[in-house]
Amino acid sequence: MRETTKRVLAPVLVTALLGVLAAGCNLGGGGDKAGGSSAPVVLRLAAAEDAEQPESQRARYFASRVSKLSEGSLRVRIIYDAGGEENTDYETRLARMVREGEFDLGWIGARAWDRIGITSFQALQAPFLVTNHALLGPIATGPLASQMLEGLSSRGFVGLALVPDRLRYPTGARHPLASPADFAGARVRVPPSRATDALMRALGATPVHLRGEALTAALANGEIDGSEVSLGTNSAEEGENFLTWNVVLFTKTLTLFAGRRAYEQLDDDQRAVISKAGRQTAAYAAAHPLSESALMRNFCGGGRPVTALAASREDRAALKRAARPAYTELERDPRTKALIDAIRELKAQTPSSTPTQAPSGCAHEAPVTRGRERSPSTVNGTYRWRLTEEGARRVGVKPDDEDIGSIVTMTLRDGGWQLGDDEFSSGTYSVRRNRLIFDWPSAAAVLTFTVERHDNGLLDVNPVLPMDRGDQFVWSSEPWQRVGPPVREVP
């Protein structure tokens, strides 16, 4: 099993009695459920994720309710990672196993059903539509959930519940995914879903389906640029390093379902128990959503270098515009269009919730990659500034740094820059709004600064974080004084 950074964040849930009792039985094994034996009937619930995922706590809650409502005559045994930890199509594989009778019940993300031709849940994957728990809860516990679950009946399943889970965010492996420009050409790992794939393509990215060791290897080889994820169990091995915390693509919902044949082997009382337990699980999850603020604090405080970034208002609007082709594709299905319209109507009646905020020590503003580009010649010149002890303290560099007291010279000429006389400290720059964006090829870095220009030629230069403290010190710990035009060529 791959190593992950574990989080324990949800409220304490009732732990189910999940072990296989020595005298127990199950439907697949032909156990006596009609009274010929006093042993409990044991239903096998196949869960798509491992036991330490936050969503698995909800599955355990369901199992506890089944035991409670049946007074112990009906039990649920959960089999985690039932679709295979390394299997890319693990959720749809699990669903087929339930339909074929290898398991009695299933627990997978609603997103996966369109991979086997069931489109009744696709409205939940409509981009930027369901973006908070205040809206997801009423959807999962109201009539819309029943309409979505009904879509399972034609394919050999019985839908029992739609269970709210967590929000889904874009994360970057080496740089943020906070604008259409960031997504353009990026390879983004997503759980298999036709609706999610359509969104990634609309944003200009390539959807990639990888899990386990294959994902780890792809990240190590620089083949993956980011992921679409929930917070809760995030790791460096999965490349979830730059979180765009104010861009919620959609929410994750879970489906609890039974195989038709297994369901029909139950008597009326047993069917009533698992149906009621499913509804209670959905209601409990809606009333006790996992705290996104707590999830984000743990993401930021997990002991590894991560950054939570806010996309600009302009970039968020641009992402929504870019996603329109995904809506066009989804709304070709009349039922999906009707459900999207119903969710929009419900959204208009739902009070907006307070947006989640990233912790101050982890939160930064995403570098501007869009907006009106100005001519780089507007900042042409030769600039100088002295590195000082005070400037070192401001950025957290030791005051005895060997560079303190030296004078730095920057040459800017028509989109090319050079720092000092080192040919490796050079590259290209662009000007967007009030920002200078430096591409530094030899350092494999892009440095972005906000700039305020004064009449005397002085430039107040401030870093857009995250940025190495050494770079902050050398580049922006003191204002740049323009001493004349560019007098040398830049490489």
Could you report the per-residue pLDDT of 335-394, keeping only the tens digit for each?
Answer: 999 999 999 999 999 887 666 777 766 766 555 544 456 788 989 999 999 999 888 888
Q: What is the pLDDT of residue 12?
A: 30
pLDDT at 447: 85
Q: What is the pLDDT of residues 162-172, one digit of tens each?
A: 999 999 999 99
- Residue 99: is its pLDDT beyond 90? yes
CATH of domain 25-365: 3.40.190.170
- As a whole number, mean pLDDT of residues 475-491 equals 88
- Span 475-489, average pLDDT: 90
- Which residue ranges make up each domain of the chain? 25-365, 373-484
Mean pLDDT, the chain, rounded, equals: 86
Residue 109 has pLDDT above 90, yes or no: yes
pLDDT score of 129? 96
| Greater model confidence, 425 or 74 | 74
Cα angle at 234 between 230 and 236, to 5 degrees?
A: 140
Residue 309: predicted pLDDT: 87
pLDDT tens column, 223-260: 899 999 999 988 777 888 899 999 999 999 999 999 99
What is the pLDDT at residue 484? 92
pLDDT in tens, 10-43: 333 333 333 333 333 455 443 334 344 578 999 9
Which pLDDT score is estimated for 297?
Answer: 87
Q: What is the pLDDT of residue 456?
A: 82
Q: For 430-440, how does the pLDDT look when each residue is reduced to its tens digit (9 = 90+)?
A: 888 778 889 88
pLDDT of residue 92: 96
pLDDT for 367 equals 56
pTM: 0.70
Percent of the chain's residues with pLDDT above 70: 89
The pLDDT, as a whole number, for residue 24 is: 39
Dump pLDDT digits (tens) for 124-178: 999 999 999 999 999 999 999 999 999 999 899 999 999 999 999 999 988 899 9
